[in-house]
Amino acid sequence: MGQTTEKKFPVTAKEYNLCEEVGEGVSATVYRALCIPLNEVVAIKVLDLEKCNNDFDGIRREVQTMILIDHPNVLRAHCSFTTGHKLWVVMPYMAGGSCLHIMKSSYPEGFEEPVIAILLREVLKALVYLHAHGHIHRDVKAGNILVDANGAVKLADFGVAACMFDTGDRQRTRNTFVGTPCWMAPEVMQQLHGYDFKADIWSFGITALELAHGHAPFSKYPPMKVLLMTLQNAPPGLDYERDKRFSKSFKDMVAACLVKDPKKRPSSEKLLKHPFFKHARSNDYLARSILDGLSPLGERFRMLKEKEAHILAQDKASYEYKEHLSQQEYMRGISAWNFNLEDLKSQAALIQDDPISVSEESILSEKHKDRQENVGHPVERVYSELDNHSNVASQLEVGPSDIHDLENSLAALPIKPLQALKGCFDVCEDEIGVGSPSLRDSVRPDSEQESQQQASTSVMDREAGGDDAWDAGQSSTTSYSVIAGCKKFPSGSLLQDNVLSPKKYMGHRDREYLQPKYQSERNYSCPLQYRQKKDSSNSTSGEDASEGAVIEHRGRFKVTSADLSNKVPIYYSNSMSGDSASPIVPNLSAASVFPSLQCILQQNTMLREEIMKLIKFVEQNSSDASESTEGGINELVQIPPTTMKERELQTQVLQMQQSVKKNCIGKFQMSALVEELQRLKAKNAQLERKYNAMLKKDDKIQE
Ligand SMILES: Nc1ncnc2c1ncn2[C@@H]1O[C@H](COP(=O)(O)OP(=O)(O)OP(=O)(O)O)[C@@H](O)[C@H]1O
């Protein structure tokens, strides 16, 4: 099974002829090239080291992994070398391109089942190999499945692959947050107990849906939404009714992968024995069925780029506006990588009343209608989906009218109003997760999904029927005894742990083509802890708040529970059906609630101060510092320092403070009295003793 590369590929640029561009990623451009001395067509991935955020170590690990791996279904590198500030990685040329490319150009609604079966079988073989050698790929998706002219399939892109053995004896679970949200396993999102090889099985299941429908589930939603939906909703899958063109066996295989509890997902080895793969055809069939009639890869790539450029030029203004909204959503997504799960759950609970979410819920309950919305020309779809993305983004956060309102109200500011507002945000450091818990602890039972998962698994097991290998019970872990004996491969991410590749989190696969142009703008290294979102679900005005219930309205500004949630423990019901916005007040003593209330007040005060500062700033800079402005400012200044809600809270705090104080005073006084009593008792006893002694003396004298 080993891939023999006896040929010696030269390591100088002059021995290669670079031809056309055939691919573009976040960090690299890929060219078709000719290796002159060997007269062999190759692909060369050119990475600009100056644009790689100095993550040379990550790049070195990626390239080393690519060179060391040796499996026909894993794309390996022939060699690599630097030329100027560019790193060249020489690889076999995969003339068909990625499955994503192929779908975009010819199969916008996904492939037929026999094609999918071949593709998935080959990818699974790659995963069996990688897992057995201690690697988690962490980025399994159609865009990383490459096909060559003969129909050979290879899993590519080790930009985010991780080696479980990099850290020696450190436990075999990871705590870093990489991957692409739509393909990302819930346990990777949760960042609670780390994750293991099973994360790839989830991504594999999502990839199966992507190949079946032409896009991954939730691909039209922004990253934050994808996170919430993945964590909160039932796992996506193939619908037994709707996806009639697919076999039961395929549906069961997908259901086996998309189980929220990683323990219940089969290992790659076990999955390969699933009946679905039993009758998968040969790779020739793949070449005949999907590559026939396709134009050369370079041409397809160029056409796609040209169309995108054309659309961009036509709709630049609107695109920039959408991009602006999407960037905000992206920032929010990034900020959420450090999320507090309680916060996330409370947000998810609030989202249910968002009309979009409601429809999503029904979509999900009917199991995945979503693909039907995404037909049409691939490139048009890119932009219609961008449209969707932006619409959703706008509904999730600041709606267009609100942005304009803000713009208008802060028009006198010398800097962009939204940037000015960002000055109000707290920026915090990334938390780097170290010290993974052991594999035994790496899975968290998900009771919510459990019965459903078990049902689907048992259905699958039943269908497996006489297939002993598949029936023989699913081992929850990849064979570690095998791993232990394997050589250790250095590998890792091009990204720092816990820092995401901007492209990976765009929340839309198609945007990878546009990404490099906007990359620098998206390089947010710090999450924003302060988030501003609108409320539709709970506000009577019908405005939206997907992130937090509005606690208070102050002019255009709102203080939401989400704004406070990072610092103040607020407890929400996680129920999707109940009164999601009503806080569950835990049984806490007044004294323990007191600091939280103080914190809320403090934050409210800070927010008010920021608003006042901004208003004053506008006042100072306004050329028309006339009566009207002054009047406005004065009016605002005259606003009583606290609103009803805040006053109420303040009163409660004061009362609690007083009662706590009283209690303390009472306790203090009581103990002082006890002390005094004891002191007096002692004195009394002493006097008594003296008195008795004197009495005795008197008696003696009298005698
Ligand atoms: N060996 C190859 N043969 C043909 N096309 C390739 C090859 N390697 C990569 N490509 C094309 O180039 C694109 C980008 O390559 P690659 O994914 O390696 O870059 P990247 O910068 O690591 O991407 P990512 O955005 O996934 O991090 C791929 O999606 C694929 O379409």
Confirm or reject: Cβ of 179 under 6 Å from ligand 1: no
* Backbone Cα Rg of the chain: 32
Amino acid at 291: L
Atom of ligand 1 nearest to the CA of 24: 14
pLDDT of residue 233 exceeding 70, the answer is yes
Using CA atoms, how far residue 177 sits from 262, 298, 351, 495, 548, in Å, is 16, 33, 24, 10, 25
Q: Looking at 48, 55, 70, 139, which residue is catalytic? A: 139
| pLDDT one-digit tens code per residue, 545-588 | 333 333 333 322 222 333 333 333 332 233 333 333 333 344 44
Give backbone dihedrals phi and psi of 525, rounded to 5 degrees, phi first: -95, -20
Atom of ligand 1 nearest to the CA of 504: 25
Confirm or reject: Cβ of 503 under 6 Å from ligand 1: yes
| Least-confidence region, from 136-145, 192-201, 390-399 | 390-399
| Least-confidence region, from 151-160, 455-464, 517-526 | 517-526
Q: State the distance from the centre of ligand 1 to the C-alpha of 690, rounded, in angstroms.
A: 101
Give the whole-angstrom CA distance, residue 67 versus residue 50. Answer: 23
pTM score of the predicted model: 0.52
| Least-confidence region, from 42-46, 74-78, 410-414, 626-630 | 410-414
ipTM for this prediction: 0.97
Mention every residue, 6+ apart, whose C-beta is less than 8 A from residue 657. 594
Structure tokens at 421: 């507002």
Q: State the distance from the centre of ligand 1 to the C-alpha of 536, rounded, in angstroms.
A: 41
Burial class (CB in 10 A: 0-12, 13-18, 19+), 621: exposed
| pLDDT one-digit tens code per residue, 654-682 | 777 666 655 655 555 666 677 777 778 88
Cα-Cα end-to-end distance for the chain: 122
260 DSSP assignment: S
Confirm or reject: Cβ of 504 under 6 Å from ligand 1: no
Probe residue for ligand 1, chosen from 51, 137, 157, 504 as the CB with the greatest number of ligand atoms within 8 Å? 157
Using CA atoms, how far residue 532 sits from 33, 57, 329, 492, 557, in Å, is 49, 37, 11, 35, 9
85 within 8 A of 50, measured Cβ to Cβ: yes
Burial class (CB in 10 A: 0-12, 13-18, 19+), 527: buried
What DSSP line would sit under 402-434, residue for residue? HHHHHHHHTTT-SS-HHHHHHTTS-B-PPPPP-
Give the whole-angstrom CA distance, residue 277 versus residue 471. Answer: 14
Give the whole-angstrom CA distance, residue 498 versus residue 337. Answer: 8
Higher pLDDT, 487 or 241: 241
Q: State the distance from the centre of ligand 1 to the C-alpha of 192, rounded, in angstroms.
A: 31
Tell me whether residue 139 is one of the annotated catalytic residues.
Answer: yes
Atom of ligand 1 nearest to the CA of 94: 3
Cα 479–chain centre separation: 29
C-beta atoms surrounding 7 within 10 Å: 11
Q: Which of 481, 327, 309 is nearest to 397 (CA)?
A: 327
Tally of CA atoms within 13 A in the half-sphere of 397 that contains its CB: 22
pLDDT for 163: 44
Give the whole-angstrom CA distance, residue 133 versus residue 483. Answer: 6
Helices (H), 507-643: 515-518, 561-565, 590-621, 627-638
Tell me the pLDDT band of 54, cut-offs 50, 70 and 90.
Answer: low
Tell me the pLDDT band of 514, cut-offs 50, 70 and 90.
Answer: very low
Structure tokens at 362: 């029904």
Q: Which of 172, 175, 178 is nearest to 193 (CA)?
A: 175
* CA max distance for the chain: 138
Probe residue for ligand 1, chosen from 40, 45, 53 as the CB with the greatest number of ligand atoms within 8 Å? 45
Confirm or reject: Cβ of 42 under 6 Å from ligand 1: no
pLDDT for 278: 92
Structure tokens at 427: 């920026």
Confirm or reject: Cβ of 646 under 6 Å from ligand 1: no
Give the whole-angstrom CA distance, residue 224 versus residue 604. Answer: 26
Q: Whose alpha carbon is nearest atom 15 of ligand 1?
A: 25
Mention every residue, 6+ apart, whose C-beta is less than 8 A from residue 457. 255, 256, 259, 264, 474
Q: State the distance from the centre of ligand 1 to the C-alpha of 25, rounded, in angstroms.
A: 6
The residues with which 557 forms a beta bridge, in sequence order, are 554
pLDDT of residue 304 exceeding 70, the answer is yes
Handedness of CA 468, 474, 479, 481 (dihedral sign): negative
| Least-confidence region, from 87-101, 231-245, 466-480 | 466-480
